[in-house]
Structure 1
């Protein structure tokens, strides 16, 4: 229902600092939001009915402009540094007041939703948007209350998002005009100066990453998840672009969610934080990803895409704006989903890494030591477009495959994963969705069909009787054969034309792992350290 400004709407916004509201829409429908976005010039309709919108200057997240207010709640618990940058409480208050003053005369869109599909871990949200299409994004990505539910609640956390409001760094304490600032005491996230919608969803992910380990001993995870026909759950860790959405959207398994989940203590199982999917669509093809293709219809959003000239057909190969083109749609647009978005304790965990060096095997099995080490290392490559300035793959280490979303020290999350592995029988796999036959520029990208076959083999028990051998440098267990996959592909060294070049690359990558891990070594247990790679001085003999 869309409601213009009245006492009920103002009562909802007064706790957020609004003394008056010129014109506000409360929980408008997708149709109303699409109409408003088109009429306001925020977007256009594609030939499938999806809304195409641009995010302007920022086509990805801006991690250097993400801040957390330092106060009595966060002072001694947040992992302060380049990822969690402290922000003064008084400057937050000043910025908050300026944003409210900016918005009070604007037409606003207010959304009430949840984060967390499990009733014990739900976060009641209230979002105030300057843009209609942003409110549609929130409708799609957060969990939607059922019809008839009273949403006049006191929100557990709120977002005020005003792309048109720019900060003055000299006065407001920001790095530049755009910002995302979390205040845990005031339960408020301020976003300004950027229209990249992903800042809202990732902001709430960061909030849950702080709250859930403290309050419920629940492990928050940057992962996708699905359930097989026998009730077996699998989770897929990985940064944007490594294949979480693609590989978890499997027609033979029920999708729990594509990006953010929690793992409850005991036998509580897993649950989705969100109510939608935010998938990359660069080079999207119907024959390769039919579920995502068919989900891009009325109510869905496509970001920073372009039309085939003279048509309203999206050209998914067009990278003229960014490689980080995306679609946002409700999870109900996927035909094969778990209802509700919860699942049992997982039996398989996949760490997805887009290895730009071409060193790691396409699939390998990890014992507990290697699992904790690789989880804490979080090695992958940032792929083009997921952050500002990234135009080609860059090797990186991101703790827990999502360091930029972790307010607590990464060892806290790694220790929780180790505890889960002690409590439950779970297989952990490292899957390289990156390069083979050489590094980026020399080798080739792993075929999606091969990756799917490897994951299916692991999920269906086809690897249970296969002989494994340890990788000579990384110690992970490599299968000798997998039905449907060329045997030579399984051993990455065999795919390189010059074997000594592979040995050098493997040693170089191992040394990068060790160097990166130095910041965790003092706090890491001997069991975690046992999972470290062993660089060798002599060429590896096959």
Structure 2
């Protein structure tokens, strides 16, 4: 009985057992996978029924250990550099052989799933895991074929994820023992040395970011999407931590998806079958849809329980800031199923501005929209990647450079064509700081952000007076329902206006410096979207 009342309040979790029988478990249900995970000591069951698991040493993605095999298919197509690191074909074969040998006597959890709610652009997956909770993660995050579909299911792409297998950098061609390697010709992803489940989901996103724009002319997007009661679609671009999941989970609108989508000639469709939301400081009052989605079948990563209970302590940061939950999209009551919406009427660029100078809401003209799409400004939020412990100024092209195998201008070209054709409204939303920079100011109130987005969606800002921001050139509304007027002008929230001016000019100069590498692509209309000084 003693073991039954032990509660993991400290960052020490039991190590998964290593005794294996070499069995293969295919397409198990969530209940069966949870039974395996508990028996194998991969995690604990919380009081609300969710499986609580640790990701070990890696509590975020490791972008410097992600590779793409360089071969005839990718040599001239991939945007090689710090983001897309080339990997040798022979080394891939060598590593694959070593992984297969390592897995030969292991218990394996195999899942057949799909990515892409639009049947015309769907990719079928075979996923091989050594951890039961990883296979549950894939059940939650990818699309789940029906029993009839499984009878004739043939996979297009394979993921092999073995956290307990490490590469030998001196022999295998990796920088570190951990790795995530995409082979777009063999249609495989190898992941080893890391138990961070997000590597699997982002690996498939990267694959779709290569195949859909390059081969089908579909714009792949790092965004969330929802639709109103009249079917009007809105999409929210932004890096992790800027509010994509939170702001798209709106009780008054239907959720299409929270992170990855494609934009075709007549629709927007979700790549995934679930949501992967940050849960640090989560409460039902602030985010009821996400809070209530954490139940039996959901996974919560890297959290701890309140002492003496099995109640999750969402304020606990002892492991990481990047605590997350993964749940199937139908756990959100008003989700759109299948996850397909119409052409967007409103597009929101979300930025967590650590400088505290970007207005909380601005309307962008076409030049500014293209400029800021290519720039992709935000602050990386603590914990999203290894080594990031506080908000860090960054420019991530197309609001997702870390997942773009192609040059950003290829995505920007598609975005520009679609934006022009459909005459969508584009808004820049600052979910970051106000009243000063990070460390001095405060985070933008979620209630204010929701009110501004609601006003934009309902069209009430069409009748508001706008001012032109003297530094960035944005059109900024001077009034907005349920938002104090002084909040709309960030300069008014600073104690010292001169400090604001100096900081705003520093950020404007950072935009201009960052855009130098895109000048060769940008035409005169795009360059008109740059800061005014």
**Interval containing the TM-score (normalised by the shorter chain):** over 0.9
Partner of 1:411: 409
The counterpart of 1:528, out of the listed 517, 526, 529, is: 526
Please identify runs of 4+ aligned residues in structure 1 that moved more than 6 A.
none
1:287 counterpart residue number: 285
Report 1:289-368 matches (<5 A): 289-368=287-366
Separation in structure 2 between the aligned mates of residue 419 and residue 25 of structure 1, nearest angstrom = 46
Moved more, 284-293 or 195-204: 284-293
How far apart are the structure 1 equivalents of 2:380 and 2:386?
Answer: 11
Query: Which residue in 1 is equivalent to 2:226?
Result: 226
The Cα offsets for residues 16-60 of structure 1, whole Å up to 9 and x where unpaired, read as xxxxx9310110000000000000000110000100000000000
* Aligned-residue offset at 1:469: 1.7
For residues 95-114 of structure 1, the aligned pairs below 5 Å read: 95-114=95-114
Q: CA deviation at 1:527?
A: 1.4
Alignment of 1:27-66 (within 5 A): 27-66=27-66
Residues 358, 440 of structure 1: 8 Å contact kept: yes
The correspondence of residues 28-427 of structure 1 with structure 2, limited to 5 A, is 28-265=28-265, 268-427=266-425
Instruction: Summarize the Cα distance change of 1:145–1:520 in structure 2 as closer, same or farther, 3 Å threshold.
Output: same
What CA distance in whole angstroms lies between the structure 2 residues aligned with 1:151 and 1:325? Answer: 37
How far did residue 148 of structure 1 move?
Answer: 2.2
* Equivalent in the alignment of 1:16: none
Gaps of 5+ in 1: 1-20, 536-542
* 3-state SS of 1:464 partner: helix
Query: Which segment drifts farther, 154-163 or 205-214?
Result: 154-163
Counterpart secondary structure, 1:86:
strand
2: distance between equivalents of 1:316 and 1:358? 26
C-alpha contact (below 8 Å) 1:112/1:151 kept by paired residues:
no
Alignment match of 2:466 (pick from 459, 465, 468): 468
Q: Deviations over 1:348-370 (max 9, x none)?
A: 00000000000100000011110
Aligned-pair distance for 1:153? 3.3
CA distance in 1, matches of 2:137, 2:143: 11
Q: Which residue of 2 aligns with 1:13?
A: none
| RMSD, matched Cα | 0.8
CA distance in 1, matches of 2:285, 2:385: 28
Q: Deviations over 1:478-514 (max 9, x none)?
A: 0011011111110111111111111100110001001
Q: TM-score, normalised by structure 2?
A: 0.95
SS at match of 1:463: helix
Task: Provide the secondary structure at the position in 1 that maps to 2:272.
Answer: coil
Residue 443 of structure 1 is matched in structure 2 by 441
C-alpha distance in 1 between matches for 2:416 and 2:397: 15
CA apart distance, 1:214: 1.7
Aligned to 1:10: none
SS of structure 2 residue aligned to 1:440:
coil
Instruction: Compute the TM-score of the two structures, normalised by the length of structure 1.
Output: 0.94
Per-residue Cα deviation, 1:187-220 (whole angstroms, up to 9, x for no partner)? 0000000000000000000000000012211000
Cα distance in 2 for residues equivalent to 1:151 and 1:175: 41
Gapped runs of 5+ residues in structure 2? 1-20
C-alpha offsets along residues 284-309 of structure 1, whole Å, 9 cap, x if unaligned? 00111111111100000000000001
Q: Which secondary structure does the structure 2 equivalent of 1:148 belong to?
A: helix
| Aligned mates of 1:475, 1:154 — CA distance in 2 | 52
Residue by residue over 1:367-419, the C-alpha shift from the partner in whole angstroms, topping out at 9 and shown as x without a partner, is: 11100100100000001100001111111100011000000000111111110
Distance 1:400 1:338 in 2: 25
Tell me the secondary structure at the aligned position of residue 148 of structure 2. Answer: coil
* SS at structure 2 position matched to 1:98: helix
Give the Å deviation of 1:440. 0.3
| Aligned partners of 1:382 and 1:394 also within 8 Å | yes
Q: Residues of 2 paired with 1:234 and 1:25: CA distance?
A: 40
CA deviation after TM superposition for structure 1 residue 151, in Å: 4.9
Cα distance in 2 between the residues matched to 1:115 and 1:82 = 27
Give 3-state SS (helix, strand or coil) of 2:97's partner: helix
Give SS of 1:489's match.
Answer: helix
TM-fit CA distance, 1:224:
0.3
| Cα deviation digits, residues 57-81 of structure 1 (max 9, x gap) | 0000000000000000000010000
Alpha-carbon displacement from aligned partner over 1:97-121 (angstroms, at most 9, x marks no partner): 1011101110000000000000100
**C-alpha distance 151-237 of structure 1, shift in aligned 2 (>3 A):** farther
More displaced stretch, 524-533 vs 232-241: 524-533
Aligned residues: 513
Distance 1:33 1:530 in 2: 54
- State how far apart, in whole Å, the 2-side matches of 1:24 and 1:124 are: 20
347-356 vs 21-30, which moves further = 21-30
Distance 1:158 1:439 in 2: 44
Equivalent residue for 2:17? none
Q: How far apart are residue 152 of structure 1 and its match? A: 5.0
CA distance in 2, matches of 1:188, 1:404: 19
1:484 paired to 2:457? no
CA distance in 2, matches of 1:151, 1:55: 33
Helix, strand or coil: the match of 1:277? strand
Q: Within 2, Cα distance between the matches of 1:83 and 1:152?
A: 37
